Amino acid sequence: MNPFLLIGGALTAGLFLQFTRLAGDNTAARLNAYVIYFALPALVLLEIPRLSFDVTLVLPVVVSWVVMIVTALGVLIAGRVFRWSRSVVGCLLLLLPLGNTGFVGIPLIDALVGKEGIGYAILYDQFGTFLALNTFGVAIAVGFAGGHSSASYIVGRILRFPPFVSLILALLCAVSGWGYPQWLVHALSWLAWSLVPVVMVAVGIGWQLKLESNYLKIFIGAMLTLLIVKPAIAFWVSKLMAGEGIAHTVSVLEAGMPAMISAGVLAMRYQLAPKLAASLVGYSLLLGIPTLLFWRWLLLHS
């Protein structure tokens, strides 16, 4: 099936379940739990050993961290210049550096680049965005809310995350040269295939498009940062590293992904401009696909 048809159909199904209220309150959370514990680990185990282990594997990881650090510094500078509240700065520090490079990013990379790009997207997500969410993200959320989080809590979150555990196992298998038996390849393939429809149904169920007028200027600047500035930074950094081919393309497209849903949840949970956070998550997903198509076209003609 065409990946865009699958994404669009599943997203439409999720929106239908939301607006008809046929989905229960915990449906999206349960679908996400299935993805975290089964579908995404299967995809990681399946795709990582297929990568060619060379210097290109470093590119998406380095690009992800440079983009996140530059974006975070930009938020801190803008916060001082425009005298934003602590709540707004905390919200933007979560929503702008951290893109949805996993749940949404991997299906979109599959659709825009193809199966050969998935491994690079996993590296960008797991060694970049995921680690940042569970270190920098947790520290920002708790710190700006006036709380405290221990190092052991943060390390525990990382080591208990099933896709990250699967990534370590997949890398060990790849380095050792151990191949999966055929029955396991078939099982992993079926579980991995289910990721896109399940994720998109869950996104549709939880999708919200609310915009507070008092945040309008901040919202416009944040959207431009998410969808234009970040991929532009990624393009520049990748070119400085002599990036090319699929690794370069994936690095730029992953940098231009919509705001991370999990980062939005953290912002809302800790009362860091929750309405702004919800708007950024919803609208960046709506506008993210057209801008990613633009970046894909630009990369093909650059």
* CA gap 261, 232 in Å, rounded: 22
3-state secondary structure (DSSP) of residue 259: strand
Q: Are 123 and 284 in contact (CB under 8 A)?
A: no
CA 285 distance to own-chain centroid: 11
DSSP string, 98-165: -B-TTTTHHHHHHHHT-GGGHHHHHHHIIIIIIHHIIIIIHHHHHHHTT----HHHHHHHHHT-HHHH
Domain boundaries, the chain: 3-300
Work out whether the CA dihedral 151, 152, 155, 156 comes out positive or negative. negative
* pLDDT value of position 147: 61
CATH class of 3-300: mainly alpha
- From residue 122, alpha-carbon distances to 52, 76, 171 in Å are 14, 28, 12
Amino acid found at 231:
P
Which tokens is 6 given? Answer: 């699958």
Q: CB–CB of 121/43 below 8 Å?
A: no
Identify the bridge partners of residue 116 per DSSP, sorted by sequence position: none
CA distance linking residue 48 with residue 190, whole number of Å:
16
Residue 302 has a pLDDT of 80
Q: Which are the contacts of 231, defined by CB distance < 8 A and separation ≥ 6?
A: 252, 253, 255, 256, 295
Q: Could you tell me the two tokens for 51?
A: 């990568």
Whether the CB-CB separation of 254 and 101 falls below 8 Å is answered with yes
3-state secondary structure of 208: coil
Q: Are 164 and 126 in contact (CB under 8 A)?
A: yes
pLDDT string in tens for the chain (302-residue length): 567 788 888 889 988 998 898 888 888 889 888 988 998 899 889 988 888 777 789 999 999 999 999 999 999 999 999 999 999 999 999 999 999 998 889 999 999 999 999 999 999 999 999 989 888 888 888 787 766 667 777 777 778 888 888 989 988 988 888 888 999 999 999 998 898 888 888 888 878 787 778 899 999 999 999 999 999 999 999 999 999 999 999 999 999 999 998 888 788 878 899 889 988 988 998 899 899 999 999 999 88
